[in-house]
Amino acid sequence: MRIAFQGAPGAYSEAAGLRFKPSAEPMPCKSFEEVFTVVQDKKATHGIVPIENTIGGTIRRNYDLLLRHELPIVGEVHLPVIHNLVVLEGTTLKDIKRVYSHPQALAQCERFLLGLEGVEVIANYDTAGSAKMISESNLRDAAAIASNRSAEVFGLSILKSGVQDFSENITRFLVVSREALTQGKADKTTIAFTVPNEPGALFKALSVFTLRNIDLGKLESRPIPARPWEYLFFADLKTDREDSRCARALMHLAEFAPLVRTLGSYPSWKEPELGE
């Protein structure tokens, strides 16, 4: 198995991919778009992308890419995220003039960064990429917010560990593949749908699940391009799409929803047992 991820070696996405399949070969990509493209082009068997974080919220760009590319979701991974302030050996807190990292990581460490006086916070494309830049450019007046592994990979020191705003910082990742083959029994389904622009339309859409006692784990809305103030909805259903209740609910929804699309049915994340 080859898993494509966005970022440099040491990125959280790489760690999530290896958590999904420890024996997999990680394949770094420059962008989320490239992750989907290399899977589509059969250069990788799977791709993994972050979809939401317990502090920073939703990574909305990846919902757009899930809809654009016809690659089914085949799994999910929950990764505890510990952010560190990493620097070149010998750099002190007083030396730091700039801090680089991915916008999501910066948002998750907002309180810590606000406490750094006179320090410029700069968004970069990746956490591990920020660590790589500091190492390769020998930046002695800069730091990165990155993982332990990023520090190891690029020969940096951890100046401060656990600088995220909340200790319970978890990112949820989705795994996509060309074929809807899952590792385990599916018990979660992600769908996308639109509703007519009329009173009560969303209530009517959600009622098809309520009537059949199907739990919604998440509901997310995204603007529809070129159609101002109209929205596309993404929902996580806590059931397999092959379950008769789910199949009937989706058929019911399709009777009045202009668009209904199943993005994948897959096993919900379960923490590996010790020794696995």
Cite the active site residues: 171, 173
d(CA 273, CA 74): 21
Strands (E), the chain: 2-6, 25-29, 46-53, 57-58, 73-80, 84-87, 98-101, 120-123, 142-146, 157-161, 170-177, 188-194, 216-223, 231-237, 260-266
Question: Helix (H, G, I), strand (E, B), or coil: what is residue 234?
Answer: strand
CA proximity to 4, closest of 44, 37, 41: 44
User: Which of 81-104 are b and which e, b meaning 16 or more Cβ less than 10 Å from the residue's Cβ?
Assistant: bebbbbbbeebeeeebeebbbbeb
Q: Are 265 and 189 in contact (CB under 8 A)?
A: yes
Say which residues have a Cβ less than 8 Å from residue 255's Cβ, sequence separation at least 6: none
Which phi and psi angles does 168 have, rounded to 5°? -85, 80
Question: Helix (H, G, I), strand (E, B), or coil: what is residue 73?
Answer: strand
Q: Specify the DSSP class assigned to residue 45.
A: S
Instruction: Determine the length of the chain.
Output: 276
